[in-house]
Amino acid sequence: MKEKIDSIVTSLNDKIHPDLTLNDLEALRVEYLGKNGILTSQMSLIRTLPNEEKPKFGQWINDAKLSIEHVITEQKNILLTKAMNEQLKKETLDVTMPGLNFKKGSLHPLTLVTQDLEDYFIGLGYKVAEGPELELDKYNFEMMNLASDHPAREMHDSFYVTQNTLLRTHTSPIQARYMEKSKGQPIAIIAPGKTYRRDPDDRTHSHQFMQCEGLVIDKNVTFAHLKETLLGMARHIFGEERTIRLRPSYFPFTEPSVEVDVSYVDSDGKTEWIEVLGAGMVHPNVLTMGGYDPKVYRGFAFGIGLERIAILKYKIDDIRQFYTNDLRFLNQFKGVL
């Protein structure tokens, strides 16, 4: 009897081969272990056996069942693993393949100069302010002490959008806006941004350019503070060996007003001067219009052309280079901080 059962197991083993599909294996399981399966039908013989042989017979059948289940499951697992491996092979990514190379960019020289100025002034406790590029006549001119009939308006040949709005001709209107907002409180700000004038576009002029405004208002602000602040700024940007020179000038929004030159040593070793910005003590009219009592408060202000700084610092010979996005130009600023 044992042989009979063993031979059933062996017959199953003989039928197992690698070409069987999952369906074939399922069919084999039913053939052997199903309700009317080859092994299951052996169970009915148990009734014909003497009682003492029944447990042993039951044990054989059970062992055979486990063994058949084991063989079929094992073969099913082999098939499933094989299918999974094939799928993985099909879907494999070759991570050693060279990827797309992202070209690393560089900061624009005007951004570099802006950040450098911000570093210096933030270190002194200034805030960075901003204002709209499309500006009201009121802030761009009137509150900067340039009344509508003021002859100095000619310095600002402007792009008007409507009668009262224009592309700002300088960053100075940010002074007026900030004063208005500060309601008589002390101020220390810089305000970098784009500005526009009806200028020809050539090597030294552009209808769009950048400025950085500076404004400090407090009770005891003097011209000496202005000078020391600008000296520190020039040294921060151009190097500690530099010095500055102030020349009397005129701006409607400051009194007295100065133009500021920075020293440099030319190729013959001679000290020369180059103009970098305009500055002065805030005009009493500007303070009054901004809501500050000029008998109590004083201020200094300055306006720097950022292209000018970049041109001097990086020895650029044509202002148009800043705006044409020529990579041969821009790539030179990689890694410059």
Give me the residues that bind ligand DAH (CB under 6 A), please: 170, 172, 213, 251, 254, 278-280, 301-303
Q: What are phi and psi of 192, to 5 degrees?
A: -80, 150
Q: Tell me the backbone φ, ψ of residue 190, rounded to 5 degrees.
A: -120, 160
Residue type, 265: V
Residues across the chain: 337
- For 187-205, the DSSP string reads EEEEEEEEEE-----SSS-
Question: What span, in angstroms and rounded, lies between the C-alpha atoms of 188 and 125?
Answer: 7
CB of 205 to ligand DAH, least distance (A): 13
In whole angstroms, how close is the CB of 151 to ligand DAH at the nearest point?
15
Min separation Cβ 190 and ligand DAH, Å = 10
Query: C-beta of 251: minimal distance to ligand DAH in Å?
Result: 4
Q: How far is the CB of 261 from ligand DAH (least distance, A)?
A: 14
User: Cβ closer to ligand DAH: 28 or 277?
Assistant: 277
Q: Whose Cβ is closer to ligand DAH: residue 116's or residue 213's?
A: 213
CB of 299 to ligand DAH, least distance (A): 9
Q: Which residues pair with 26 in a beta bridge?
A: none
Element spanning 208, H or E: strand 208-218
Rank residues 75 and 140 by Cβ distance to ligand DAH and give the closer one.
140
- Non-local CB neighbours of 222 within 8 Å, separated by 6+ positions: 298
Please identify the residue of the shown chain whose CB is closest to the bound ligand DAH.
303
CB of 296 to ligand DAH, least distance (A): 20
Q: How far is the CB of 278 from ligand DAH (least distance, A)?
A: 3
Q: CB 272 → ligand DAH: shortest distance, Å?
A: 22
213's CB contacts (< 8 A; 6+ apart) are 170, 171, 172, 174, 175, 189, 190, 191, 192, 193, 301, 302, 303
Which one, 131 or 280, has the nearer CB to ligand DAH? Answer: 280
Distance of alpha carbon 300 from alpha carbon 321, whole angstroms: 33
Q: Between residues 278 and 290, which has the closer beta carbon with respect to ligand DAH?
A: 278
Instruction: Using the minimum distance from each CB to ligand DAH, give the nearer residue, 171 or 321.
Output: 171
Rank residues 178 and 251 by Cβ distance to ligand DAH and give the closer one. 251
DSSP 8-state code for residue 250:
E
CA angle 262, 265, 267 (to 5 degrees): 140
Q: Which is nearer to ligand DAH, 39 or 174 (CB)?
A: 174
Q: Which residue lies nearer to ligand DAH by CB, 37 or 131?
A: 131
Instruction: Give the count of beta carbons closer than 10 Å to the beta carbon of residue 281.
Output: 20
- Determine if the peptide bond prior to 98 is cis (ω within 30°): no
CA–CA distances in Å: residue 18 to residues 74, 76, 88, 89: 11, 10, 20, 20
